[in-house]
Structures are given as C-alpha cells and as structure tokens.
A and B are shown apart, each in its own frame.
Chain A
C-alpha cells in the first residue's frame, strides 16, 4: 500500500488530477453549508445575467436561477451518480467474470455468449432502450449506464481470472483441501482485485460522461433538478446569445472527467507491476554508450571479434546492475568459443552488447571495446552498426517461437534478411532463401518457405533461425542458448547441424550455454562466467578435465552426468550474488570453501596467457 502511494505521488499528472478532483469534491461536500441561493428558485427578471454581475458569481440561466448554486449542486449529483454506476457495474461485472473464468467449461460458455450479445450493441442503443422502457429519469439513467458497462467489466475480469485459475498455486490450494468458494475468495479474488480497481478507476470518468450525456439528451435528470448534463442541455437553446450558461457546466464536466482520468491512469500505472519496474520503456535502435575512457589499445591482431574489458550495466532508478563487469574475450577465425555460466551471470548481455542490441533504456555500455577485425564497434554510428548487423555478425537466439515474427512467412523473413544487405530482386532473394532452408535440412523447403512460424515445430523453427543467421555469410555467429528450449533429441540434431555448418563454412561461433555437455561436444575453447566476469578460460579439454577455478570445479561436480548411476551430488551452498550489490574482491568468495581474507580485499585479475583463471588459490597450476 505504501509503495502504491509512493508510486502514485511520483506521477506528476496523477497528483495534479488528484488535486483538482480533491478541490472539486471538497467544494461539493461543503455545498450544503455554503450560503447559496436555492438552485431551483426561478426569477425571470434576472434571466441570463453575465458572470460577476449583481452578486451572481457565475451569472444566471434562462430562468434566472443562480448558476453557481446550480453548478455545485449539479456537480454533487453528477459525481454521485457516476460513482454509483461504476460501483454497481464493477461489482456485478467482476462477480460474473470471476464465476465464468473460474469454473470455465459450459458455465463460462453460456455466460460469455450472453455477454457477447450485450456487447454486440453500440452501448448507447442499449442505454436508450433501457431508458425508453423505464422512462426518463436520473435513477433510470444510472441503471442504464451501469447495465451497459457490466459486460466490459465481466470480460476484463474473466480474462484475468482464467489466467489466474490456471496458475499452479490454485492447483496447490485444491490439493490443500480448499473448496471452490474458499479458493475464489482467498486465492482468486485478491489477485483479481487490482484489475477491478484499475478498470473502475479508468472508467469512472467515462461513466460520469455517459450519465451527463443522457441528461443532456433530456433522458436523465428531470427539471427542475440540475445535474451537469441537464444544465448543458437546457443551455443549448441559448448557446449563441448567452454562451456562459453552456460554458460553466461544460468546463466543469471537462475538469471532473480529466482529473478522474489522470488519477485513474496514475492508479493503473502504480498497480500494474510491469510498469512498476519501468519495464515498459521501449528499447531504442542501439544500446546507449557512455564511455569515459578512450578504448584500450588492440591486444589481439588475428582475432575476428575481440571484446576488451567490456562493461555493460542496467540503470534502473537509483540501482545499478553491473551485468557485464569487464569482459575480455577473443574469437579467432573459424573458431567456436563457448561462454558458459548460470543464468544471470551476464552471458546474454555480453552477447547482445557486441552489436548494440542490449535494451536501452535501461542498458548502457560504460566501458571497453568490441573490435570486429580490429575496428571498434562501441559508439560506432547507428548506420554502420546496422550495416554490420546480420551481415558480418549474425545472431541465433534461444526461443525460436518468440524470436521469429509471428505474422510473416518464414520465407519472407529470410528474404528480408538478405535484401536489407544486398540489392537483389525479390525473386532472386527468395531463391536464395529456399536454398538456405535446404542447407539447414528442412524437408520440402520450397513449400515450407510459405509457412508461418507457428506452423513449424520447435526444431524446424530453430533451423529457420539458423538459416537466417547464415543468410549473408557472416564472419561471426553469436548463438545465445540456441538449444536450451529444445528437447534432447532435437537438440542433438541442431548441434550436429551447427557443427557441420561451421566446419563447411569456416564461420566463427560464440556459443552461449549453461550445459557443460554441449560445450564439451561443440566448442574449441571455453570461457566460464560468474557474476558478470570471466573467471576461467582455456581450451575445452583443459577446462573440463582440470578446472582451475574453484567455481568451475564445483559447478562441474554439481551436474549429474548420464551413465554415472545413482549418487549424491556435490552442491555449492548459497546463491550467486545480485549484480547490483557485488561483494568486494572475488565475487565467489562467500560460497568458496578455499576463501581467505585476501580474497575479499582486492580485485582479483584474470591471470595467465592462453589458459586464464581469476583466482589467487587456483585448483590447478595454469602458469
């Protein structure tokens, strides 16, 4: 609750809305206490007095009634009616939505058909029909507006309820012996409530408008009783001669609805957890670069791609997550280098930093260099980066279902990959695309090119992604856990394909994974990452057979290997550190059984020439 208020208070527009609305409500609450003339007392002699004349603050209307008094009483009525309509619609709609969403099946089917039926009306037709049946009047207008909005709430809440009812904690509650009613009230409702509140706060303004509208049409509040809509409706006849009688209620409606909307949006943003983390900001075309020092001198001349002391961080509010804290890694032509580590160790961010694909905001590259054939890419102009992306350096990502565009045919996505870098005709590009699909052993390639991603299996989709990476014969392919989402038998197929392709085409690969088995089968060299830094590097055989860093050694011991039979595993106690509060010195020290006082005091360098390790008490001699 307090975080909610804090977030709300940070939203300047919402605060403004709250202030305006608060002032209006205050005014309306004290209205009965104010020395105001009777809002309904007519005085034909005083018709159409201008504002600030003869003691009438806002003037008078066509019957000589005091506009200020009518305005305050009318506002009170409009606010009350709008709020009541929202509460009625929200409560009934939410109840219907929860029942339909929780029970599902036939109940859901019948209820939702009925709701669809109601939503098939443009809303005002239904409201008009209801008012026509019940007769004009403010209360009837209230019922009409509430009734018309029930389907909206029901549908919204049902959607959320369905997603919650399928959560595993609901199954767990069932296994804990809870009945339906208890599950609805203690498991579902608390999770649905924010949605109901959001829907209400964002629609109250709308309901106030609608009831005002019905009154404007003469179907709501009946004379002499004033609400804002009927004031405006009555003023319309004299709109040209006495515009102030229209402007006064009109501006009041505008103020109320606007302030309610601003506040409602604020409430929504503060309650929506996705907005809370600021995650809804859009990533820009290239990662921001804020590099104080000029990049260090080149160290490796033969390498196709070399990262030198690369630093990338995420700046979220006051927190700084050092996702990549000085990574150096070189990839030689035709080489396959594995980058291995647990999730959150910074593998993906390292990979994405190469071509400026880290989401920014909040990502920023703050130091180091990425050299492609000797030329630094960090801070390169966007046009140059774009020209190299997919052409010289291509990516393969983890989950091919979410990384391929769902609405384009796979053939077209391949064709596009070719045509953004080569001026060739669509047909020629399409032929190339089909050829690429054949190269990655997709049966029936020509027909398959016309498929959409969702029509292919996971393995086939990943083959398409590989074909796309190969499209422009890049020098380097960066593959970020390309087989993690796949089943083992399909994983083996994809690994075999990648292995053959790289040998046939001599392309360099940076292969990211968390699986030692995969690294062992595919990679020439391997680098192990922990808490944003490389802790060990060497040829695959050296690192796997004789791990030198205590972390590597113990991590390998954690992993059960097929064929070793039933046994106890050697767990590493504790958790990797959060990268926004890294410990001093060795990041592994809190979990390391060899740690000494020295480990936590100074920064520990990555030592060694070909075989490197970041540890002062390595398990193996690497000199």
Chain B
C-alpha cells in the first residue's frame, strides 16, 4: 500500500492496471482525455504487454474494445458527453451480447456539446442508453479514493458477471489532484476468450462459436431478452451497493438522496450542520438501483429530498422505485452545475 498524489484521471489508470487491464481504445474528449494520455505513458514503457490505440472516433473505440474483450483481453475505454452518445452504439451491442467491456464516463454538461467539466446528466444515458433496457452495471463513486476502488471493482464485476460495466464520474472528480491509497487488490477475476478458445479443433460444429446480435424472428429476439432479464434478476442483488450516512442512530424524518459528487457535498453538509434528524442515502450502483436498501431506510421518514446536478435523472429512478409510497419528494436540481455543502445546509434549513 502506498499513498500517492494523483489526479482522478491518473488514478483511473493506476486502478485499471492494478485490476489487470491490458488494452485501451479511446478518442479525446474533455474531461476524460487524460485517461488516454496517462495510459499512453504506461503503454510506451510496456508495449509488450499493453495495447493502446487512439481510434478515429468513439464508435471505433467502443467496438475495438469489444473486439479485444471477445478475444480475452481486459480492455476498456473512456469518454464523455457527445462521445458517450456515439459510444452507445457499441455499448448496446455489449449489452445485448453481454460482453464485459469497462467504460469510464466523465460526465460533462449537456444536452449536446454543452460544457466540458461537470454535470450529472449522463446517468440515464450510461445506464439505459440504446434500445435495450439497462442490462449493464453502473458505479457512481463519490470520492477520489472510491474512484480508485470502484474502477478496480468495475473490472472484477464485468468479468465475474460478463456484463458491461461503467464507472460514472465527472470532470471535477477526474481533474482533482489529491492523495489516494494505491492498494493492490487481493482477488482479481480472470479474463477469458469468448472466441478462438482452442487452436486445435476438428469437424464438430459444437467446437465453433457463432456470436450474433440480430435475430430473424421475433420469438428468437424475445428469447434473448428473456435470457437477459433472467440473468439480470439473478445477479442484481449481488451487485447492488449503497451507503447510508447519518451522524448517529437517532430518529430521522428527512432523507436526502444523492449520488456521486453531490453525495459528497451532502455528507459534508450533514457533518457541518450536526443535524440529527436528516440522513443521506447514496446509491453506489445507480444501476442496478439498490431498491430494497432504500426502502429499508424509509421508516419514519416524512420527506425525501433528491438533489442532483441534473434536472430529473436520479429523481426518475427514485420515483420509479418508490412507486406507491406516499412520502413527499422535494427536489434541488441544478443541471450542469455543482452543488456545494453550503447549498445543502440551506436546503436542510428550508425544509425543516
């Protein structure tokens, strides 16, 4: 274990390498570009074992990542905003075929090219982009240390469940330089090829793998969807993660729900106000959403406050998952703007 002074982008590369990542394909876009530049630094020193390609666009980066993953490499990519939009092309194929790619999403302002450094407007796109229904895992770390820990975890989860896995972060987090503990993970999932498993095969049809993403009849397509749904329902409770932050165990009447960077502010606000009747619920996996854990925290709660740097993305998830419960939901939403602890302290005061 060592402490190092690093930016979020540098931390991601340390984490990826320590998770056994072997290949990176990407296209520059702020605020995720430095992940690629940092990967190149390591790649130049270790060309025999690492792979790197700056592709012609994000579709190429996403699909080349898929190509490397199917042959058994732990490969990843990183993008943001308009790049995330283009990469949904590849992500939807990875979702349909359950190909364990890893992607780091550095959220920037939306819609469109918008602003370059911060937002939380890519939650829906990252979790549910494409014409599928979100059979992909999305972690939303809240601190730089978590950025390290959950990037490692993303590789492990992706390969353990053979499911595309995302780390949803933002430019504020990626550009911050701070001290992090670089620990070597004890257990790493192994990667494995989905094709070309053996060089010595004979005539048997069953020895060959034919992977497809399109179906000629609706029933086949329905069958694939059912397989996806069954798998998702089986694995999601093993993947779901959340955090509850409260100053002590006294009775609570207010629940703040936030994720990522905003959850950090909310924590700080709770710590600063010493307000004992308020607690924070933070989904760490925004997909699968920790529904049961959230429901458990609702005893005695008279109001929920959802706060996010988006207009209604986390809010939609909360509403969907709490359907039928009659707890009023208030919002403090600022698309593409940061939310400070001071603002949340004000928010708590106003909603006493």
Indicate, yes or no, whether A interacts with B. no
Chain B interface (Cβ within 8 Å of chain A)?
none
Chain A interface (Cβ within 8 Å of chain B)?
none
